[in-house]
């Protein structure tokens, strides 16, 4: 019985994963992407911002976090680590 439950759980997980990756549903991709994957912005003051970069300009970065959308001055950012999965989402949308 344990093998059946484990097999069912693994099969359900794989089916959901395949549906997610082959689905053309933009809402599904953006919602799941926001829950699991975030870009990381390292600030010069030592803080770290986790969020989804919406838009980058020469002097400012627009970041969507759980608290809302913020603008960060580029001069205050030490580095940006973009999530490769979000790159896929940005191209799909």
pLDDT digits (tens, 9 = 90+) for 3-38: 888 888 888 877 766 676 666 666 666 666 555 678
Q: How confident is the model at residue 81 (pLDDT cuts 50, 70, 90)?
A: confident
Q: How many domains does the chain have?
A: 1
Output the average pLDDT for the chain.
Answer: 79
Strand order in the sheet with 39-43: 68-73, 60-65, 48-56, 39-43, 77-81
Q: How confident is the model at residue 78 (pLDDT cuts 50, 70, 90)?
A: very high
> 39 versus 33: which is more confidently predicted?
39
Q: How far is CA 56 from CA 49, 83, 85, in A?
A: 15, 15, 18
65: Cβ–Cβ under 8 A, 6 or more apart, which residues? 49, 50, 51, 52
> Rounded CA gap, 26 and 20, in Å?
10
Q: What is the CATH number of the domain that holds 7?
A: 2.30.30.100
Task: Tell me: pLDDT of 50 over 90.
Answer: no
Name the residue range of residue 41's domain. 2-92
């Amino acid at each position: 019985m344990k093998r059946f439950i484990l097999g069912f759980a693994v099969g359900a997980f794989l089916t959901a994963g395949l549906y997610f990756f082959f689905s053309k549903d933009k809402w599904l991709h953006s919602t799941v992407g926001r829950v699991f994957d975030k870009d990381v912005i390292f600030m010069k003051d030592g803080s770290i911002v986790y969020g989804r970069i919406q838009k980058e300009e020469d002097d400012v970065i627009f970041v969507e976090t759980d608290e809302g959308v913020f603008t960060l001055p580029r001069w205050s950012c030490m580095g940006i680590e973009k999530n490769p999965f979000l790159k896929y989402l940005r191209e799909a949308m």
